[in-house]
Amino acid sequence: MSFHESWVEKQIREAQERGEFDNLPGAGKPLRGLDDPDPDWWVKKMMEREGLDASDALPPVMLLRRERASFPESLVEVRSEEGVREVLRDYNARVIEDRRRPALGRASPVWAPTVDIEDMVEQWRALRASVEPPPPPDESRPGLTRGRRWWRLWRS
């Protein structure tokens, strides 16, 4: 080991001598990113490799605003009105909780808006009615589904 060679450099030199760097994947290819104008290419590549979503890095208030913008379309899959109300109550509670966090710095804090539950339920009803057709009549017992025909069948 020479006077100027560090321990790390010695380990690298010995590995080269043993041939541990021969035939590595990507050998002889240019390094990616040196000519790329995007300085964050490596972060995006890592997030893609790890299966991460960029929205996971957003502040909580921005996630709440994004969620608010998706209403009522995101509620179409909820089957009951009480379920919709529960989702909206949960959203409003998270907004209030976010507003109670202390603000840092001199800039005024960014807030997410709460939702009017009754208005949103009305929008959900209209959207749900336009998306989901009414259930078909019960075909297993014809005649019993319309009006009071069942009464005549029961009397005879």
Confidence band of 69 (pLDDT split at 50, 70, 90): very high
Phi-psi region of 30 (alpha: psi -120 to 50; beta: other; left: phi over 0): beta
**Higher local confidence (pLDDT), 1 or 74:** 74
pTM of the model: 0.57
Report the C-alpha gap between 120 and 85 in whole angstroms. Answer: 9
| pLDDT higher than threshold 60 for residue 91 | yes
Report the C-alpha gap between 125 and 60 in whole angstroms. Answer: 29
Across 103-120, average pLDDT: 88
For residue 98, the model assigns a pLDDT of 92
Q: Any residues with CB less than 8 A from the CB of 94 and at least 6 apart, and which? A: 64
**Looking at the chain, how many residues does it have?**
156
pLDDT tens, 125-147?
999 888 766 666 656 655 545 55
| pLDDT higher than threshold 90 for residue 117 | yes
For residue 26, the model assigns a pLDDT of 81
Q: Residue 9: what residue type?
A: E
| pLDDT higher than threshold 70 for residue 104 | yes
The DSSP call for residue 47 is H
Are 98 and 58 within 8 A, CB to CB?
Answer: no
Q: Residue 122: what residue type?
A: E
Confidence band of 116 (pLDDT split at 50, 70, 90): very high
Are 117 and 92 within 8 A, CB to CB?
Answer: yes
Are 114 and 92 within 8 A, CB to CB?
Answer: yes
| pLDDT higher than threshold 90 for residue 155 | no
